Amino acid sequence: MLTYIVTPILVLGFLVLIHELGHYLAARHVGVRVERFAIFIPLPLGKYFPASIYKKTIGETEFVVNWLPLGGYVKLFGQNLDDEDPTDPANYASKTKLQRAYILIAGPLMNLVWAVVFITAFYMVGAERPDFTTQIAEVREDSLAAKAGFQVGDRVVRIGETGITAWSQVESALIGELSSQDWLRFTVRRGDAERLIRISSEDLAAGNPLGMRYERHPVIAPFGEGSPARAAGMETGDRIVAVNGHPVRFWSQLPPLIQQAKGAGITITAERGGERLNFWVQPRLDDSGKRWLIHVRPVNRVEQFGFADAFSLGMNELAAITQGTFNVLGRLFSGQASLNTMAGPVRIVKIIGQTAQYSLVDLIKLMAIISLSLGLINLFPIPALDGGHLMLLVVEAVKRGPLSKRLRERAQLVGISLLLFLFITITINDVGLSF
């Protein structure tokens, strides 16, 4: 529970901080006075409960940390309609259109830059993954995979035009397909023939799982001193190929063969350095007294890359995610996709908490995706967002004159109303999906 509460606050707080820091640094760079730098949103609950957690004025700026972790803001002198003064050099309204555009774009740009930093770090650190084969071990009933025609034993060889030799390649291939195609195209080998199986991109983007489980390689991970397998002479990295003469191709075949011996010693054949070795292993009962174990576990794969390769892989993945985001938004606004394809605050908090419990390395990647999304969304030409202010600057440049305060006030009102409507709608949908 602590992870679910604290981690989302820290993650979202940092991403909001770097966004607002972009606006703050750009404004200071061109000489605009920053009156307030606020992280999160104030929560006024009455005179006996402060709306903010922390306040401190440094120089001309009041730095504030508020309670509600749903955003933040930088208050610039002269950005509001009631304090514009083109004659004051510290006033936002006195700056050129390029300088104002620079201030507006600095926030989203900071998020985009940090998305690159996070995704590069993810590939450099390396995520620990189960070492799956590309052969399907289970197809759950009534799942997308079952309805599409997948069968146990199918081996995935291509997704779209991308060849697949290890399951670690599947995720990036799926992102590429989702971003550019209405259908996910899987080529599987079944027996001696290849078959094409298609799944709707919309069904997968809506959060419906594929419903398939994949086989793991029968390779041994590091184990403790008390392991019967270690006592018999087996080592980390040994690939099990047989138990009592029965062939073993996948890890799932190992436990049933151990149970079949009913506690009798077993002969395990393993490959090590191109050589086949036999080990006599005595299984032990687990604490429940129901299962015989030799205390081994399958190895995980950690893929790490140097800076150049990590940067290249990260940029390719961010580009695919960006393309996929606009593809999904296009289908959403055209009525071809459901609201389930968008995640609001409730689902984002839930995903952050789940990811933090599973893997801190995966949390780095998730931060890259959320930071990218924040940067892109804030550039949308919707009044009240940075992109909306940029749009008004472009209109002023084309018009060759400032827009009236009344028009800008109405545009802001429309933008805020639209954002509030979307926020409430997506949140209600999130709550329905989550609970």
- For the 128-216 domain, the top CATH level (class) is mainly beta
| pLDDT tens digits along 121-139 | 998 988 666 777 778 878 8
Only one residue has tokens 């459901």, namely 338
Cα–Cα distance measured from residue 172 to residue 280, given in angstroms and rounded to the nearest whole number: 42
Cα–Cα distance measured from residue 235 to residue 90, given in angstroms and rounded to the nearest whole number: 69
Residue extents of the structural domains in the chain:
2-125+365-434, 128-216, 228-298
Only one residue has tokens 């599973």, namely 358
pLDDT at 29 over 90: yes
| pLDDT tens digits along 16-27 | 899 999 999 999
Minimum mean pLDDT range among 10-19, 41-50, 222-231, 363-372: 41-50
Nearest alpha-carbon partner for 414 in 385, 394, 390: 385
CA 292 remoteness from chain centre? 39
CB neighbours of residue 182 within 10 Å: 13
pLDDT computed for residue 99 by the predictor:
94
CB neighbours of residue 96 within 10 Å: 9
Only one residue has tokens 């392991």, namely 227
**pLDDT band for position 426 (50/70/90)?**
low
pLDDT computed for residue 37 by the predictor:
92
Task: Calculate ∠ Cα 402-403-404, nearest 5°.
Answer: 115
pLDDT computed for residue 1 by the predictor:
63
In 217-336, the DSSP E strands lie at: 239-243, 246-247, 266-272, 275-281, 284-285, 292-293, 300-302
Only one residue has tokens 């960006």, namely 322
Cα–Cα distance measured from residue 103 to residue 386, given in angstroms and rounded to the nearest whole number: 9
pLDDT computed for residue 344 by the predictor:
64
Nearest alpha-carbon partner for 13 in 263, 370, 396, 429: 370
pLDDT computed for residue 28 by the predictor:
94
| pLDDT tens digits along 188-230 | 899 889 999 888 776 665 555 678 877 788 888 887 668 899 9
What percent of the chain is predicted at pLDDT more than 70?
85
The structure tokens listed for 77 are: 């002198």
CB-count burial class (<10 Å; 0-12, 13-18, 19+) for 77: buried
pTM for the full model? 0.66
Minimum mean pLDDT range among 72-76, 198-202, 329-333, 367-371: 329-333
Cα–Cα distance measured from residue 109 to residue 386, given in angstroms and rounded to the nearest whole number: 11
**Check whether domain 228-298 has CATH 2.30.42.10, yes or no:** yes
Cα–Cα distance measured from residue 96 to residue 425, given in angstroms and rounded to the nearest whole number: 38
Cα–Cα distance measured from residue 169 to residue 150, given in angstroms and rounded to the nearest whole number: 19
pLDDT at 171 over 70: no
CA 418 remoteness from chain centre? 26
Pseudo-torsion of CA 288, 289, 292, 294, nearest 10°? 60
pLDDT computed for residue 179 by the predictor:
54
pLDDT at 5 over 70: yes
User: Strand 68-76's sheet: what is its strand order?
Assistant: 52-58, 61-66, 34-41, 68-76
Cβ neighbours of residue 294 closer than 8 Å, sequence gap 6 or more: 227, 228, 229, 258, 266, 268, 281, 283, 284
**pLDDT band for position 9 (50/70/90)?**
confident
pLDDT computed for residue 26 by the predictor:
95
Amino acid at position 209, single letter: P
Task: Calculate ∠ Cα 348-349-353, nearest 5°.
Answer: 115
Mean pLDDT of the chain: 82
The structure tokens listed for 74 are: 């930088």
pLDDT computed for residue 332 by the predictor:
67
